[in-house]
Structure 1
Amino acid sequence: MIRIKKYHIVTICFYLFYSITYAQHEYEEMSFSELESIIIHTENHFNSLGRASRIMTIETVIDVSEKFNPKQKYYLKAHSYNALGKVYYTNKDYEEAIKNYKIAELFIKELDGYPELSIDINNNIALVYINGFNKPKKALRRIKHIYENSNDLNEKSQHVLALNLANIYIRTKNYKKAYDLLEKCKKYFINNQQDISKLATTYASYGEYYYRFRQYSNAIKYYELAATITEKNQLFRQAMTIYKKYEDLLVKIGREDKAYAILKKYTKHHQTALDIEKQEAHQYKKQLTVSEEKNTVETKKAKQSKTISIFTVSLLLLCLIFFCFFIYNHRKIKTLGQSLALRNKELKISKEKSDHLAAVKTKFISTVSHELRTPLYGVVGLSSILMERITDKENHKFIKLMKFSADHLLNLINDVLQVTKMESYEIHLDKSSYDLKNLADDIKNSFEYQAEKNGNTLHLNLDPDIPNQLIGDAVRLSQIFINLISNANKFTKNGNIWLNFINPVITDNEVEITFEIKDDGRGIPLDKQELIFDKFSQANSKDHTTGTGLGLHIVKNLVNLHGGDIKINSSPGKGSTFYFTISFEIDKKNEAINKENNTKNCISLNTKDYNVLIVEDNKINQIVTQNILKSKEYHSEIADNGLIAIEMVKKKRYDLILMDLNMPKMGGMESTKIIREFDPHIPIIALTASDTQDTIKAILHPDSGFSDFMRKPYKNEEFFKKIELNLNTSISKAS
């Protein structure tokens, strides 16, 4: 009995080996067009062919394609791997599906003149992204690109693409575009009844569209239409999908009775589909049984042979099977190696392009930042000086308006550059110690004038349990509050604005703080609350208030950068509350040290005793900086570039140097290093209109020689505070 079973196994192995080798031999005799027809036939008869049979057929074509010229070989492989991806996609094996689609994409990129196959591959990849991996944005990029370049396709293919694109637009909440495409598809598929399954899909998409808009009666109507079509045409798998979505809708709106009826239909079609698949499996099993019966007859005849002959033949067959498996596996590895080589080549080229574009973008940001902020420094500085000097009320009013416009333009430029840097991943959080209470007071004081202009009162509430001294990025945190308070002030008239620092949770060396920016202004409608954080977006497009619509987008990104998540609670006429929670490290060492420094560092300066060297090539900026210093009675001298500055510092003693970076003949970086060779103690403050990460890193590097830096244009209070701090530090070192 045991001997019969062993021989039976050998016979089955022989049968499988014979089937594979016979099929491969048969395909090797075929022409290019015949093999192409085999792939198309396999794609068009997925339901009638078994999964194993489909995979074996396609992989045999891939192996045989090696005999053709490169163009024909790449086409057959691209078409075959695409078909193989469809087999895995149908069985919901999305990992294998995407792998085969990507290999197909690599081969088709090496060819020209096959737009339909290229578009079909990209469309299939997009379907895996949306249905398999739930990545609608990736799918959207694929589908949108091929849809916009689908003029060479036939009308049916164009509408199938449009339907896929509409479904992705629904997933990504771009409802207007989704609706337009659905209307187009509905009209076409109604007039072309041979594509009845696509009409059912279109109606189901309408159902999902109206479901998301909460127009539930319309959603029910279209789900019913879709279900009727699938019922009538016995599209059981499609009917299951539609009834599942229909049931979810009914449960959502509280129609449990009807939902139960739909669930029963879903169960019925699920069972029907299983029965059909069982029937197909049964037929396949019957074919195997016939083969086994034939083999049994041969086995009975073979029993008459001697045991030694059976063993020898079996051993030879097994060796042959292993040898064929080795050859087959070798070919597969060779194909995969070729695909990986192509992919690596593409990745290398893409990386080089990406690095080049990143460098160009960084240089562009640096140049634009410098070229825009430098003249603005002159406008803001001169208008500030004129405001202090002109006493005539009418002219003072004009100067004030000019300064307001310049400040507004500067804010717009800063917003645009900030968004650009965020998209380039150039923003990183600094880690330095700062006093949170002082930061909150500074923000409140800087906004009180603007708030009063709108008749608003600004309130600051800071929980006494919050530690004063924290470690983090005070500049980025200030940007969050400034943008949110500015937004609240813009849409609140004769009301109140609250800046609340509350609910501290202290654990070891960390504190978690909740921040609220609250107003009693006009509020934001519920349907607009998600949109206001998008770029260039405002709650009301008919609003005539100033602004780019970038402020809240910047806030959201900066809060995310801190590890928080900003949320909003608002309703029309009742005001708005923006709130988020961020964790900070507590600076316990500086908590005590700063209390001592607050008394030690407040050294009263006699500004008449100090001489400042201004190194600046721009004549307007020279006038502005010199006059700002003059307003506090500092003495100052001018050097037009770094070379002149070096000679002046060698000949005369200065108490502090204000050093511009971009100058002819010699810039600030190089001249500062030379000055440090013979004067290591004089404070040197870098003045830069650039705001790129590379520039700031270069200034803060220990070997740069700079004591501090400031971005142009700056506020006069900040300017004098920096100068006094560096002069005091210099005095402390000298003493």
Structure 2
Amino acid sequence: MRCPKTNIALVIISFFALKSVVAQSYSTNKEVDSVYFLNQPKIESLVRNDSLYEATTLLNETITYSKKNNLNAQLADSYFALGKILTKMSNYKNAETYYLKALHIYDSLGSNKGKDIAFSGLVSTYLLDKNYTRFDSIYPIAQRQSKSINSELYFKNLDSEVKRYYYAYENQKLYETSKFALEQLDSTDFSKITISGTYEDISSLKNRFRLSYAYHNAIAKIKLPNNKTYGYKELFAIDENDLKVAFDNEDHDDAYRKLGTFNYYKYLYYNQINKNLDSANKYLLKSDTYKYRALIDFENRNAKNGELIYKIINTEQQLNLANELQKQDAKTSKILIWITTLIGIVLLGTLVVFFFYFKARKNVTKINRELKESNKKLIDIDKNRLEFFSILSHELRTPIYGITGLATLVNQEKDEEKRQSYLDSLISSSSYLSVLIDNILQANKLKFDKKELRQKPNNINNIVQNVIGTVKVAAKDKGIELKTNIETFDDSEQLLIDKVAFSQILINLAYNAIRYTKEGHVCINVKEKKRTSDTLRLRFEIKDTGIGIKEEHRSVVFNAFENRTFLEKNSSGSGLGLYIVKTLLKSHNSDIDFTSQPNVGTTFFFEIDFDIAPTAEDNIKTLSAYKKEMHVLVVDDNKVNLLITKKNLEKIEGYHAEIVTNGREAISMIKNKAYDLILMDINMPDMDGYEASKHIRMFNPKIPILALTALNSSEILMKAQEAGINQIITKPYNFEDFKAIVLNHSNASDLYFNCIAFETM
């Protein structure tokens, strides 16, 4: 049965009229019954109970109302409260925005207390974001503001500065700042102080500050070389339960980490100083428990923050949609007056609205589905990273345990043949540990920066033989034959090669082949592919008779972490080696590929174009012709490093070494005695190698200064050049390379600022 068109029109008119009346009634009631004043206690209660979504919704409503009614003071308070919530959610960028909005309004209102809390909020946000540049710029401003009104936030900001040096591992500044904070706290009468923030228990505020300062002061003393005893004494004087209360206002994972550190240093005391194994194990167990809690809490907080962000985004979309519907209702109310003449336009408009409404819903559904998929991927990545750190812990402990055990066996063994066998295994374990640590550091560095090659003349045969020497013990331990097949090259021919980066490529591939080969052999082949007057293209192949790789796994072989998914039953490696190889080869404008057959073996191969270095016969003749007694001063605060460097120097004919343990004493000795060469450690207490070198250059601009450091970056090279250091030797180094660079400076009295990065394996 068909309805008359007039009835349809009447129904539509009635619907819109009723909808308009209801909308107007709802709007009027809302304006009369709901005035959105900031309910600070309720906001604080919601934040304490982690009801951040409800708190954010309430604040958004308050902000909207405050803007509409020009309630600037309430608007500033709402911005500040929203900044605190976003900081708690680790959304530091947006938190900074809202704190700055609040600060601008407080400043326009002349509210000193408002400016005080806004500055303090920015200090906390920059601290948690590890943005120390902005922290250092805003901190003195915040302290001047707090001091001007005698606010307790002066001590909260001071606590943030203490944590800033704690997080940045600046132990000397940590000690000085925490000591200053304790002195300031003791000289302040809290009964006369102005309270700017909000606290559950003001009476215990001073004690909480004191415990936090004392904890960080004790940690700083333990880490500093001359205050360990006092540091442990002060650490044991702190009650753990009181410390828990002091850390109660911090995020749980951060509090648990600090409590874990608190118990870990107690473990170190009983393990290294008091030698009480039962107590040591007790505190180690407590430390691990707190660290585990911190990890769980961190995971839960990240998951919860993800859900909150999703809910907030979804709510904003719903609010926008509701605003659009309200606007449409307002239009409909006006059109109702002319409904009899404009019914066609109203119907058309309604159809358009419904069309976009359903289109918007479809888009929201699609976005929600994509967000869920993205969240699942993030959870999988986090799971893989946790698994990686678990594996990494095992990978590090294994060679460390081997090194410790083998060193003991070497010390106890009388049979020279067995001692040599133990020493070979010890070298293998240390080489593997060095490669593993290099891989970890390299993976983190390459993720953010492209590797800049530092090319110097080197012989390809020597580099390959050094690689063979590094991995041969590992192959011997597994009973695997290690072969090389290198085309004959002119020994005098030098190629421009970044020895460290290129050696790391070959070492990772060789170790990888040995790890996945149970029996048979591993072979390194080097072939000449193309030669011009200036360049030489070489092809490198690393073949093994190992487990092989299935074709279906080709896409993940060179991915960090992922490449372990198909090798879990075959190896416990870190999963970084091949990723680093492929990344380093990109810096050489090359790429890597492989052929493989499961249970037969794998061949990895790549080609690199090297520039041929100019011949240096004249330099060699000059060096070989120059001989005299050389007196060298070695400066290092580590006695083991001093011994190693001194012995290596004395192995060079005609060289005599004197040692000194700090920079100031070195300056004094150089002023009173003539030396031919200085070997200077970079990282030393009191006066580091840079400062010592600057002082030496003031009265002796020509003596060669070589820096010994385990650090390796362009920043180190730049600082060395500014300090007047001639050359960098990166530890650990190969003796022959060390000897060559020392001899190169034997007649280098006219050299100055010849800062060339000397890197070896």
Q: TM-score range by the shorter chain?
A: 0.3 to 0.5
TM-score of the aligned structures, taking structure 2 as reference length: 0.44
TM-score of the aligned structures, taking structure 1 as reference length: 0.45
Give the greater-gyration-radius structure (CA): 1
